[in-house]
Amino acid sequence: MRWTGVTGLAAVLAVCASCKDSAPADPPRPAGWHAEDGALVDPDGMVRVLRGVNLAGSHKFPPHLSDFGPADYQRIADLGFNVLRFLVTWAAIEPERGRYDDAYLAEVEKRIGWAEKAGLLVFVDMHQDLYGEGFAGGDGAPRWVCDEARYVGFKPTDPWFFGYLDKNVSACVDELTTKEETVSAFAAAWAHAASRLVGHPNVIGFDPLNEPHWGSYNILGFEPDRLLPFYERVVAAVRKVAPGWLVFMEPGSSRNLGGTTHLPKPTFDRIVYAPHSYDREAEQGKPFDLARRQAVIDNLRALSDEAKAFGASLFVGEYGTQTSIAGATDYMIAEYDAMSAVGAGGAYWAWDRGGGYALLDEAGKEKPIVETVARPYPERAEGAPLTWSFDGAARALTVDFVPRGQGRLDVVIPAHVYPRGVTVECGGCTMQQSGGRARMTGVKVPRVVVRPAP
């Protein structure tokens, strides 16, 4: 039947008049934590910035737990941090083949409870350095996983990370991602740990393996050929018991040396891309040269692009400085400026006592670097994209985002930066401040400036 003239036009208009009512609604937002347009989104649908510390380097070695107590967790939160990258090791979880140490996991749970009480989120990092405990100075895999002859044949090096070049270490590293028995045991240990921790609401995810090394394999082929299949196996095992957890996915450790990643996009979702950011010269104990600042910023920009290609948000799983080197403050400022320019979170290495990278001295007193590390940042925003900058001299935090909904913005305002609180330029919004935070509602302008109260 053909429609002609006025009759046909009337029919078309009648059909179109109903289009508005029948048009499909926007797809619902995913439930729980997820990545969206390069940002991390929390279960309330707000963009969330995670900034925290690694807890702790002392977890690498027996008894695999630090002696930090509830007051220390509260102290971390009071400085303005909101997340812990909590270190565990396979050796601690499964010290003997097929026997899980549930007493150890109970102690981990206790500490996660302390974190929850302090208002800290947690993601769990399965840590390793130099493969495992069988190699002098190493941590990670329990001794039983690899051939004892490999440990006997190993010759320690200085610095320790050159030990990865030892053929014995390479052989064990190769098996970690390729030997069926080893991969299955590792995935099962992760699943067992997850089954103990999934009931804690402040545990939001896991880092499957710290700084995965390529062993003896071709460095360019390691990520697509070995690391990705390994991740797929481990994530599937963990997601059976913790389906809502974020995956804090690291590239191969070669990326941390300044290369590029060749890791393909995984099949799993809810990804936080979690590489590490260190300056090579500062890592060797040399002064941080301000000429290297731009390289730090450029690297974070590249990491942000990589995260978006994965459909992920960006979180720098480790950055930090040997606190005694010249230029340590400039180094950390460069890292923070680089992260804030791309809206990334991160975790400082590490909340420990002593020398090196530790934020605390031997007596537990905060080192001067803490005043640089614990600095203002936007914690939650109802709107995106979210970037910010901080002028340390003026103590001015500038936050850029496109407000939506109620225009809410939560900002961390550490007491050592703002002892009298803050004033804000927010286009007539309403602000409340307490407990080291300022909450703004009714923000309608794309730029908010936070300044010290007079």
338-367 pLDDT tens trace: 999 999 999 999 999 999 999 999 999 999
Question: How much is the mean pLDDT over the chain?
Answer: 93
Q: Give the pLDDT of residue 4.
A: 33
Q: Is the pLDDT of residue 250 over 80?
A: yes
Q: Give the pLDDT of residue 257.
A: 75
Q: Give the pLDDT of residue 258.
A: 77
Q: Percent of the chain having pLDDT more than 70?
A: 94
* Segment 135-160, tens digit of pLDDT: 999 999 999 999 999 999 999 998 89
Q: Is the pLDDT of residue 162 over 80?
A: yes
* Segment 386-421, tens digit of pLDDT: 999 999 999 999 999 999 999 999 999 999 999 999
Provide the whole-model pTM. 0.93
Which whole number is the average pLDDT over 49-78?
A: 97
Q: Is the pLDDT of residue 38 over 70?
A: yes
Q: Give the pLDDT of residue 31.
A: 81
Q: Is the pLDDT of residue 26 over 60?
A: no
Confidence of residue 378 (pLDDT cuts 50, 70, 90): very high
Q: Give the pLDDT of residue 259.
A: 81
Query: Vertex 196, ends 195 and 200: CA angle to 5°?
Result: 105
